[in-house]
Amino acid sequence: MNLRTSLNSIKGVGPKTAEQFQAAGLETVGDLLNFLPRKHEDFSEIVPIADLNPGKQTIKAKCESVEVKRVRRGMTVINAVLADDSGKVRAVWFNQPYRATQFKSDEEYLFSGDFGFRGGRYQLTSPSAEKVSEMPVQTDRLLPIYRQIKGLKSQIVRKTLAELKPFIVMLPEALPSATVKSNRLISYSDAILGMHFPKSSDDIAKARERLGFEELFCLLLASQLNKQANAKLDGWHIPFDQKLVKSFVERLPFKLTSAQRIAAWEIIQDFERKTPMNRLLQGDVGAGKTVVAGIGTLQAAQAGFQAAIMAPTEILARQHAKTLADMLKPFGITIGLLVGAVKGKARSELYERISNGEVQIVVGTHALIQDKLSFKKLGFVVIDEQHRFGVEQRQRLLGKADKMPHLLAMTATPIPRSLQLTVFGELDVSILNELPANRKPVKTKLISPVSAKTVYAKIDEEIAKGRQAYVICSLIDDNEKNEKKSVEAEYRKLKNSIFGHRSIGLLHGRMKPAEKEQVMVDFKDRKYDILVSTTVVEVGVDVPNASVMMIENADQFGLAQLHQLRGRVGRSEHQSYCYLMMSDTSKPSQRLREIEKSNDGFYLAEVDLNLRGPGEIYGKAQHGDLNLRIASLADIKLIKQAQVAAEQFIASNESLVQYKQLASEVERYQRLTILN
Q: Which DSSP string corresponds to 457-468?
A: HHHHHHHHTT-E
Pick from 257, 299, 306, 547: which binds ligand ADP (CB under 6 A)?
A: 257
* Helical packing angle, 660-673 and 201-231, nearest 10°: 60
How many residues make up the chain in this entry?
676
Q: Shortest gap between Cβ of 479 and Mg ion (angstroms)?
A: 29
The answer to whether residue 262 forms part of the interface with ligand ADP (CB under 6 A) is: no
CA 349, CA 357: separation in Å to the nearest integer?
Answer: 12
Residue 113: contacted member of Mg ion, ligand ADP, none (CB under 5 to 8 Å, by partner type): none
Residue 254: contacted member of ligand ADP, Mg ion, none (CB under 5 to 8 Å, by partner type): ligand ADP
Burial level of 367, CB count in 10 A (0-12/13-18/19+)? Answer: buried
Contact between residue 52 and residue 115 where contact means Cβ atoms under 8 Å apart = yes
Contact between residue 29 and residue 164 where contact means Cβ atoms under 8 Å apart = yes
Residue 283: contacted member of Mg ion, ligand ADP, none (CB under 5 to 8 Å, by partner type): ligand ADP
Q: Shortest gap between Cβ of 627 and ligand ADP (angstroms)?
A: 29
Question: Whose CB is nearest to ligand ADP?
Answer: 288
Contact between residue 60 and residue 50 where contact means Cβ atoms under 8 Å apart = no
Q: Shortest gap between Cβ of 164 and ligand ADP (angstroms)?
A: 52
Pick from 13, 32, 33, 285: which binds ligand ADP (CB under 6 A)?
A: 285
The SS3 call for residue 275 is coil
The span of 34-42, 44-52, 278-286, 666-674 binding ligand ADP (CB under 6 A) equals 278-286
Contact between residue 293 and residue 409 where contact means Cβ atoms under 8 Å apart = no
The SS3 call for residue 383 is strand
Our separate counts of H helices and E strands in the chain read: 24, 20
- CA dihedral (145, 146, 149, 152) in degrees, to 10, reads -80
Contact between residue 356 and residue 373 where contact means Cβ atoms under 8 Å apart = no
Residue 568: contacted member of Mg ion, ligand ADP, none (CB under 5 to 8 Å, by partner type): none
Pick from 143, 157, 263, 287: which binds ligand ADP (CB under 6 A)?
A: 287
Side-chain half-sphere exposure of 586, counting CA atoms within 13 A: 9
Q: Which is nearer to ligand ADP, 124 or 407 (CB)?
A: 407
Pick from 144, 176, 194, 283: which binds ligand ADP (CB under 6 A)?
A: 283
The answer to whether residue 357 forms part of the interface with ligand ADP (CB under 6 A) is: no
Q: Which is nearer to ligand ADP, 520 or 639 (CB)?
A: 520
Question: Whose CB is nearest to Mg ion?
Answer: 540
Pick from 544, 558, 588, 613: which binds ligand ADP (CB under 6 A)?
A: 544
Q: Shortest gap between Cβ of 385 and Mg ion (angstroms)?
A: 7
CA 351, CA 359: separation in Å to the nearest integer?
Answer: 9
* Helical packing angle, 314-328 and 513-524, nearest 10°: 50
Q: Shortest gap between Cβ of 610 and ligand ADP (angstroms)?
A: 24
Beta-carbon count within 10 A of 652 CB = 11
Pick from 288, 364, 601, 614: which binds ligand ADP (CB under 6 A)?
A: 288
Least Cα distance to 241 among 306, 293, 295 occurs for 295
Residue 405: contacted member of Mg ion, ligand ADP, none (CB under 5 to 8 Å, by partner type): none
The SS3 call for residue 286 is coil
Q: Shortest gap between Cβ of 249 and ligand ADP (angstroms)?
A: 10
Contact between residue 605 and residue 413 where contact means Cβ atoms under 8 Å apart = yes
Least Cα distance to 148 among 100, 205, 98, 194 occurs for 98
The span of 425-433, 536-544, 553-561, 619-627 binding Mg ion (CB under 5 A) equals 536-544
**What's phi and psi for 668, nearest 5 deg?**
-60, -45
Q: Shortest gap between Cβ of 411 and Mg ion (angstroms)?
A: 9
Query: Footprint of ligand ADP on residues 470-499 (CB under 6 A)?
Result: none
Query: Footprint of ligand ADP on residues 412-441 (CB under 6 A)?
Result: 412, 436, 438
Which helix (H) or strand (E) segment holds residue 205: the answer is helix 201-231
The answer to whether residue 540 forms part of the interface with Mg ion (CB under 5 A) is: yes
Query: Footprint of ligand ADP on residues 551-610 (CB under 6 A)?
Result: 571
Q: Shortest gap between Cβ of 315 and Mg ion (angstroms)?
A: 12
Each residue 325-344 as x (binds ligand ADP by CB under 6 A) or -, in order, gives --------------------
Q: Which residues form the interface with ligand ADP (CB under 6 A)?
A: 254-257, 260, 283, 285-291, 412, 436, 438, 540, 542, 544, 571
Residues of this chain that bind Mg ion (CB under 5 A): 540
